[in-house]
Amino acid sequence: MLESTARNLENYQTVETGTQTQAKPTTVTHKVAISKTESLLLVGLGLLTLCLMTALVTMKVSMTSAQNNLDSVTTKITNTTTNNVNLQQEVSELTSYDRLSNFAKKHNLKMNNKNVRNVTK
């Protein structure tokens, strides 16, 4: 009977320890005041961020303006090149051998080889 009582005590003790609630560790939070140095650093960081954002926007605007100017100049160059090509074609048509021959026949002109000079550019 002693053995059975001892066994019951062991069971009783284990049951009681099993039902005990374990205490959860509690975290204590305290607000820490910000020092003057930290507040100055935070303000400085905020101002630096603001300045960098302003500089970025300014650079973006100037880059867009430069791109627009480049597009405008490129368009002018393209128009001038097209105009030059058209004028060169017109010069070639006006100085063609057939046109000059027709003009000479129309005005009763003849070719005199003694008066011909070769000109190079």
The token pair at 93 is 């048509």
- SS3 state of residue 25: coil
The whole-model pTM stands at 0.51
Instruction: Give the C-alpha separation, 111 to 95, whole Å.
Output: 16
* Residue span of the structural domain in which 94 resides: 84-109
Is 72 contained in some domain? no
> Residue 116: pLDDT band by 50, 70, 90 thresholds?
confident
Domain for residue 67, yes or no? no
In a domain, 64, yes or no: no
What tokens were used for 80?
Answer: 């001038």
In a domain, 103, yes or no: yes
Give pLDDT, residue 69.
98
Domain count within the chain: 1
